[in-house]
Structure 1
Amino acid sequence: MNGQVNVTVHTSATNTTSNVMVTVHDNGDVVATHRGPTNQPFQFNVKSPKLWSPNSPKLYNVTVTLGKDQIQSYTGFRTISKGTVNGVVRPLLNGEFIFMFGTLDQGFWPDGIYVPPTKEAMVYDLKMLKNLGFNTVRKHIKVEPQLFYQACDELGLLVIQDMPSLRPLQGILPNADQQVEFGRQLELLVNQHKSFPSIATWVVYNEGWGQITSYYPEFELTERVKQLDPTRLVDSTTGWFDHGAGDFSDNHHYANPQCGSPFYSIDSSPYDARRIGLQGEFGGLGNNVSIEHLWNVQAAIDTIDQTYELDQTIEIWNYRSHIMLAELQDQVKRFACSGGIWTQTTDVEGEVNGLMTYDRRLARVDEAQWKADIQGLYDAAAARGHAK
């Protein structure tokens, strides 16, 4: 198998073309060299590359030279697709079924809100997930700095990337101009981030937020994303208002998972066997903590009692988490469940259902229990179809 490198080198002199030299290195050894024009796409192959995966996040250094100018970058080789494995439609990484298990990651911080205090702080969250055994992170309603995706490339975490939503109210839907702008920014999201090998899936709509239902724009938007980036999957409607677009039949249900199952709740849709069964959100178990760990704003504190479930102690929180993960594992064994997203990485403002508190100073997880439960999901998936 050859690895394909797709290159477009942009220069300040956009009306001219010059030849650039692109060199791919593996631990200092040159494995491929190619000359191509600037300001135009070109491609070349690397023979028999080592493939990128969560278990082996292999990356290659890339040097681009134009005259006296030289820049450094990197790339990775992997394929993302879907296919039928033992009669069930599955996500495939490098041609093999991979069970995608991650957290909903909103990327909030007590001091900077959407801005992490340092790169190290941002990567700390990802390392915590990786240590517990997660192989995926769903970046929820936010686009991160490129350093975030680089860290996922290096650590080996698949990324399900949301398109930031319009208004989360079905009663206030976008007008025509807003819908056009949503599509324009969706294209920007894809074009600016499609070089990161860790990104596996694009999400168009979350739970109907800003999703027009008088007609179904998700079909056209999904096709637009597929044309821009045919190398990844598209989750057109994670959660609700699913009309059959995209690669996933995605369920949200917090009280218990309903993943690829023959039962569902009012706001969700029945499992569609033509697509990948995914539990796009579940868990959400809460545990209140002392004020120094909370977002100390009264409006946020007042919403804590709206948490789906509040467990009185961390021990009970871990017990309830174990029960819910065991139920998901049973659905992997019985039905067509191909992945799950647990809510969530950390507490955020008025939400107290994170694996860690908002200030990252208190971890709720029983590490040994969570590692065993997550490995149990992978083992159950492997028994169903050689999952990684």
Structure 2
Amino acid sequence: MRPGTGTKPSARVTATAYDGHRRVGSVTGAAGTVLRLPVPHPRLWSPDHPFLYDLKVTLADGRSHDSVGSYFGMRSISVAKAGGVNRIELNGKPTFLLATLDQGFWPDGVYTAPTDAALKSDLQLHKRLGFNTVRKHIKVEPARWYYWADRLGLMVWQDMPSRNGGAPGAASDAEFDKEVHEIVDQHISSPSVVMWTMMNEGWGERSKQATGELADSVKAQDPSRLVDAHSGVNCCASKGDSGRGDVIDHHLYHGPANPAPDATRAAVDGEHGGYSLTVPGHIAGVAGGQDYGDGPTDIAEMTKTYVDNTRLLIPNAAAGLSGSVYTQISDVEGELNGLVTYDRAVLKVYPDQVRDINRQLIAAGASAGRPAH
């Protein structure tokens, strides 16, 4: 805790953790020093059990004191061998990160949700449909969005906003790198955030070497999370694979992609799907309508298409794939491939069927590496 102006050298900080009303740990020390708060027998955070401790921090100098309340979650995210290949593990157990691509557009605010309830609603829809992860695509949300991910229990695969293309120069390079580290520092306390993505499909990428160096520096800044150096390294404007980061990430429409883990990294499908169902009366009045090919014609066909496509991932998860990202949760202005319309008024799939296949896929990933019975 950094002492403020006028704080006396004798000022003391006390941090106390609570499980409900029960105190479970406390630490006191000098202001401005690193304190470690022990929590015996911790209750771990996960999408199925998003447990959060309450936290109270006080600053006292003998005559007066100040206090602030907050919360925290305890979890680990790592890459480790299971079943002979590298896989993503949450709290030491193989876990399949099943996400949608979430760009966070809104018809009445574009990049700004109209209300807190709206901000929460897209995450609630992820839970309703059986996803355990959300890939926040090329956007950083307000702190309240991460609060709801923490509370509801969704792992967050957080992208860095992309740069413009071309050759922006050394000053722009330095500014981009600085802002990446600021984003990490801003959201480093959210237990839901489990992975940082440096580049998407090479948009604005300087070189694979620069991307690898940035991935290394972010990993050094925040070793408690995974780093995805190149999402969609196999396509588009990507400069190639630096070999850095914790995952190999391929994109394929309609897909799914199925990259193989290597000696140091797990493998994920960073984008696939993109099936479009057009719902008249719920489309933004703009040109476009990108749908990655012919789309279904009604909700039943859209549901079957999603289920059949997702079923292809089950043997991949058993063999070594650690995550996938379906494009996408909601329509946006020029893309009609959402599971829900842009105005969030029409859900384009039958939720029970989507949730059932999603649970099967997550279960396949969880059982990977376990001995057969």
TM-score normalized with structure 1 length: 0.89
The answer on 1:183 being equivalent to 2:177 is yes
Query: What is aligned with 2:36?
Result: 43
The answer on 1:278 being equivalent to 2:262 is no
Q: Equivalents in 1 of 2:163, 2:66: separation in Å?
A: 41
The answer on 1:131 being equivalent to 2:128 is yes
In the TM superposition, residue 278 of structure 1 has moved relative to its aligned partner by 0.2
The answer on 1:319 being equivalent to 2:304 is yes
Alignment check: 8 A CA contact 1:307 1:351 kept: no
Aligned counterparts, 1:1-388, within 5 A: 8-9=1-2, 11-13=4-6, 18-67=11-60, 68-167=65-164, 169=165, 172-213=166-207, 216-240=209-233, 241-261=240-260, 272=262, 274-290=264-280, 292-297=281-286, 302-304=287-289, 307-333=292-318, 335-386=319-370
What CA deviation, in whole Å up to 9, does each residue of 1:99-141 have, x standing for no partner? 1101111111111111111111110110111121111011111
Segments of structure 1 that go 5 or more residues without pairing to the other structure are: 1-7, 262-270
Percent identity over paired residues: 40
SS of the residue aligned with 2:14?
A: strand
In the TM superposition, residue 303 of structure 1 has moved relative to its aligned partner by 1.4
SS of the residue aligned with 1:316?
A: helix
Number of aligned residue pairs: 361
SS of the residue aligned with 2:156?
A: strand
Q: Equivalents in 2 of 1:326, 1:219: separation in Å?
A: 33
Q: Equivalents in 2 of 1:114, 1:233: separation in Å?
A: 26
In the TM superposition, residue 362 of structure 1 has moved relative to its aligned partner by 0.4
Alignment check: 8 A CA contact 2:254 2:292 kept: no
Alignment check: 8 A CA contact 1:11 1:39 kept: no
Q: Equivalents in 2 of 1:338, 1:202: separation in Å?
A: 16
TM-score normalized with structure 2 length: 0.92
In the TM superposition, residue 174 of structure 1 has moved relative to its aligned partner by 3.0
What CA deviation, in whole Å up to 9, does each residue of 1:221-256 have, x standing for no partner? 111111111111100110023231111010100121
Q: Equivalents in 2 of 1:66, 1:15: separation in Å?
A: 11
Q: Equivalents in 2 of 1:248, 1:13: separation in Å?
A: 46
In the TM superposition, residue 16 of structure 1 has moved relative to its aligned partner by 5.6
In the TM superposition, residue 182 of structure 1 has moved relative to its aligned partner by 0.8
Q: Equivalents in 2 of 1:85, 1:191: separation in Å?
A: 31
Q: Equivalents in 1 of 2:5, 2:104: separation in Å?
A: 34
Moved more, 147-156 or 37-46: 37-46
- Residues 1:62 and 1:306: Cα distance change in structure 2 (over 3 Å): closer
Alignment check: 8 A CA contact 1:346 1:356 kept: yes
SS of the residue aligned with 2:37?
A: strand
What CA deviation, in whole Å up to 9, does each residue of 1:150-173 have, x standing for no partner? 111111100011111102x4xx13
In the TM superposition, residue 41 of structure 1 has moved relative to its aligned partner by 2.8
The letter for the 2-side match of 1:51 is L
The letter for the 2-side match of 1:349 is E
> Deviating runs (4+, > 4 A) in structure 1?
12-17
- Residues 1:254 and 1:15: Cα distance change in structure 2 (over 3 Å): farther
The letter for the 2-side match of 1:127 is Q
Alignment check: 8 A CA contact 1:239 1:280 kept: yes
In the TM superposition, residue 366 of structure 1 has moved relative to its aligned partner by 1.0
Alignment check: 8 A CA contact 2:28 2:35 kept: no
- Residues 1:15 and 1:173: Cα distance change in structure 2 (over 3 Å): farther
In the TM superposition, residue 76 of structure 1 has moved relative to its aligned partner by 1.0
In the TM superposition, residue 316 of structure 1 has moved relative to its aligned partner by 1.8
Alignment check: 8 A CA contact 2:96 2:317 kept: no
SS of the residue aligned with 1:205?
A: strand
Q: Considering only aligned residues, what root-mean-square deviation do their CA atoms show, in Å?
A: 1.9
